[in-house]
Amino acid sequence: MLEFSKIRSCSKFDVFTFAVAFFSLVVFLVAVVDFSSSLFWRHDSVYYLSSYGYKVPQEGRWINYIFFHVIKLIPPLLALFSSYSLLFLFFFTAIKRYTNNAPYSFLVGVVVISTPLWFAQFEWPVTTLPALLILALIPFFYTRLPGFVFFPLASVLFFGTFSSFYFFIPLLFLNCPTKKHCINKLFFWAFSFPVGYLVANCAVFVVKGHWIEVADWRNPHPVASWPQLVENIMHNVFRMMKHLNMMFEVTSKALLLPMMVFSVLFFENRLARVMLFVSSAAALYITTIPIGIQISPRTAVVFWVPLLLLVLVVRFRSRWQSVVYPMLAAVFFGLLMMSSIEHISWYKALTGRMVSQIEQALGPVDQRTAGVKFYVDKTSWDLWLEHVAREESVNSVFSEKISGYYYWQSLLVSLGYEDVKVLESSERKDCSTLVGQHSDNPFVVQGANENVVTIRFCYLGGETL
């Protein structure tokens, strides 16, 4: 009778957990649909590229290069739903293998994918899709291949698509029977990482005739001396602390930090859990030390997720855990979702204003035949974006500015123009002659013939001319 009562009680807790998970999922899906209606994506999204060739030498994503023309056909809504589904599938599988609790694993999976950094990352809707497909299949191959095959293969596949996702693999080790087993897995995982980099370099050499060259915008500082090594280490420690403070601001430091300490001190398999979660979280900062590149906030999603899971992934041993942890997960979901919604509002406000006002300015211009000359000053553009953010009462710290030559070019490409020429100009006298004619729209058409339309961006620090 006691055992039957215990089973019934657990069943009630499972129903409660599933109800919380289902409600969270509905809220999340509404946000994804809203995000998918954005009018303009990031400048180097595949939708605006005619070839992936120039990105391969900078990133080494040779699999994306091979399937470029396929992924370019996937519409944003389908790409986003597919990406989040594959992401959820991986985390659900990894968590359930440890907890053996499907409703709670479902809830934690929804919490993890609601992180605002994922929305920032998916401003390139299809770029990570090949990597996410591999990530979703990784648990299947993990149980069927020996370590000396699985880890190098995973490294090669992720370097060919999106290398950072390789750092999630230790989450599959949570069910390791012993500490020695965990250490063995981590050893194979860590020392297989360079294999993917070597293969990616070879692929770039075959395609372009030279090795991977890190893009200038990443601000690389390769280690060439001991002082440079120390400097890179200190920079990455600073970046990691900055990203951790950002996480505390979103999730509440007063809630997350004590729970992290509690998880380390009182949960079962403490040493193994800490090794796995910390290894997964810190890998991004350790592996970038040799080249000293800039780490953007959205890339830190591979740092945030393991720390969240350190707190939330637990095997229920008592009734209080069955109640408290779903409620705790729901609180984290609410905090993360609020930041995600704020980020979506920021991104849609800026890109929506860009598209709507340039469309209004262009009016009846024939997009199929006309080329475009676009004169713009970067300082004025950045001031205008700040003005729009203030006017719309939106802000975000999770992604880069929407500013620069390629953004302006891709913006016009997204409207159907193929022959686009962007000219940076700080001359304000041309704008001053337009005072009173275009007071509410910074995009001004100066002239057009049957071949070319000339547009000038006119915004002078608070007043549209």
DSSP-derived secondary structure for 122-137? TTSTTTTHHHHHHHHH
Per-block average pLDDT, block size 10, for the chain (465 residues)? 39 84 96 95 90 84 93 95 97 94 95 96 95 96 93 97 96 84 91 95 87 81 92 95 94 87 74 83 94 91 92 86 91 96 95 90 66 86 89 88 84 84 71 58 79 83 52
Report helix angle 2-36 to 319-362, nearest 10. 10
Q: What is the DSSP letter of 143?
A: T
Could you tell me the CA-to-CA distances from 371 to 47, 320, 448 in Å, in that order?
A: 19, 66, 9
Residues 6+ apart with CB under 8 A from 409: 43, 374, 420, 422
Residue 311 lies inside a defined structural domain of this protein: yes
**Of 290, 314, 344, which marks where a domain is finished?**
344
| Same domain as 255, residue 128 | yes
Could you list the beta-strand ranges (E) of 283-415: 371-376
Q: Is the pTM of this model over 0.85?
A: yes
Residue 403 lies inside a defined structural domain of this protein: yes
| Same domain as 227, residue 80 | yes
Report helix angle 76-99 to 301-312, nearest 10. 40
Phi first, then psi: give them for residue 377, nearest 5 degrees.
Answer: -110, 125
Can you give the residue range of the structural domain that contains 390?
Answer: 349-457
**Of 344, 379, 396, which marks where a domain is finished?**
344
| H/E run at residue 283 | helix 270-287
Bridge partners (DSSP) of residue 63 are none
- Residue 358 tokens, joined: 């340039």
Q: Are residues 55 and 44 in contact, defined by beta-carbon separation less than 8 angstroms?
A: yes
- Residue 144 tokens, joined: 């069927």
Predicted confidence at residue 212, as pLDDT, reads: 85
Predicted confidence at residue 336, as pLDDT, reads: 96
Alpha carbon distance 443, 277 (integer Å): 49
Predicted confidence at residue 367, as pLDDT, reads: 56
Residue 123 lies inside a defined structural domain of this protein: yes
Q: Are residues 373 and 453 in contact, defined by beta-carbon separation less than 8 angstroms?
A: yes
Q: Are residues 61 and 162 in contact, defined by beta-carbon separation less than 8 angstroms?
A: yes
